[in-house]
Amino acid sequence: MRCCIILALLTAFLSCREGEYSYFYGETVIVDTNVQPDTLYGKKIELDSIYTGNMWAYDTLIGFSSHKFPDYWMYVFNVNTGKFLYPLCERGHGPGEFPDITDTDQRIYEEQLYYWIRKESGKDECVLVNLEKQGDFIKRKMDIKIKTEFTRPFSSVFILNDSMFLANNQGEAQFQEEGPFTPPAYHLYNSRTKERIKTYRMYNGFIPVSPDYFFGRAGASTSYSSRDRIKPDDMSKLAMGMHHIDQINILDLKTGKIKGFRNKTSPDFSYLKDIDNHRQYYSHIFVDDRYIYGLYADPKYRTGKRGRNTVNIFDWDGNFIRKLFLDKTILDIALDPVNKHLYVDTTGEDEEEIYSYDVSHLYK
């Protein structure tokens, strides 16, 4: 009788935990981020020309990349004076021009930043842009066009050295009721030989969703979506802020192991089956050698709400460090790794505005 009771309890326990562990390919560590935040007050930054799009900051420079600029992809300003300095990456299809660029989310110190160039000819490149030089600003190029079994393009690319890069395939599912599903994973490639060296698994299989969901299996592939950043100093780890789970993942590129650091009040992956109840947690993350900053909120998905005020901070071992509450509602955010300032693009009443927040106290 005792054996039967133990067996029943064990079966029930495993059944309860199945939803949590059957989708994530790694260890889940429960953390408590529901703490009283530190409130920070921003200083307004006045810029003397148009600015919009993806933002970056380094020392005295602040820049924006966008398709809305008339002749160039990027505008660079002096953050102290607010003066426009120069444009970078001329738009076009001729020699030295750029048909399209995408920020790879990989910052390199010494005023350098990787951009992903998608060319109409099908030859994709990553270029290392020297942000402080208006003339010869391309420092390095890497051909990242790789033949793969995936039908959709990479969603993230990170350059590790002169020949190796890391790329993330998107989740892929067929529209029909049954069929294969490929969850997102990172792959290490050699750009010279075009070989795949290693695959880093992160998730297991397909999360079934409500049968009446319009996009069916193909649309459900967004359940695993995240914003990812690589550790800048040694590029040994990747941080991922998950959109629909209150969780930060850290992938160790040396061991190949992934850990998820989940808030104790977060639902597990099984709640994603009901796509109408999806919530949106981390919209952006940004990193330096010491910390992972996650721009955080907890609204119901597709409510139309824009902007958020909360930033959760972790170290690269997954320890929760601090919660910040910023006095402005944020659309985009960037970290200056030199002066330890956050720059935020806000939802102003009439137009977007830029504010600066000093976080240097976190490094003392």
Tens of pLDDT, residues 304-314: 555 689 999 99
Cα–Cα dist 77/48, whole Å:
9
Q: What mean pLDDT is predicted for residues 175-194?
A: 76
Residue owning tokens 């992934």: 258
CATH code for the domain of 209: 2.120.10.30
* Residue 85 pLDDT > 90: yes
Output the pLDDT for position 240.
96
What residues make up the domain containing 170?
Answer: 24-363
Q: What is the mean pLDDT of the chain?
A: 79
Please state the domain count of the chain: 1
Q: For residue 241, is pLDDT > 90?
A: yes
Q: Is 90 exceeded by the pLDDT of residue 115?
A: no
pTM assigned to the model:
0.84
- Model confidence at 31, pLDDT cuts 50, 70, 90, reads very high
* Structural domain includes residue 219: yes
**Mean per-residue pLDDT for 336-364?**
86
Do strands 353-358 and 54-58 pair parallel, antiparallel, or not at all (unpaired)? unpaired
- Measured between alpha carbons, how far is 268 from 23 in angstroms, rounded to an integer? 9
What's residue 174's pLDDT? 47
Whether residue 19 is predicted with pLDDT greater than 60 in this model: the reply is no
Is 199 in contact with 228 (CB distance < 8 Å)? no
In a domain, 8, yes or no: no
Edge to edge, the sheet with strand 164-169 lists 156-159, 164-169, 185-190, 196-201
Mean pLDDT score, 280-302:
85
Strands (E) in 66-221, as ranges, are: 72-78, 84-90, 101-108, 112-117, 125-130, 138-143, 156-159, 164-169, 172-173, 181-182, 185-190, 196-201
Q: Is 121 a residue whose pLDDT tops 50?
A: no
> Would you say residue 11 lies in a domain?
no
In a domain, 17, yes or no: no
Indicate the range of 10-19, 141-150, 320-329 predicted with least confidence: 10-19
Chain centroid to CA 191: 23
Q: Is residue 12 part of a domain?
A: no
* Residue range 27-31: mean pLDDT, rounded: 95
Domain annotation covers residue 5: no
The answer to whether residue 285 sits within a structural domain is: yes
Question: What pLDDT is attached to residue 6?
Answer: 43
DSSP label of 97: -
- The answer on pLDDT for 335 being more than 50 is yes
Percent above pLDDT 70 for the chain: 72
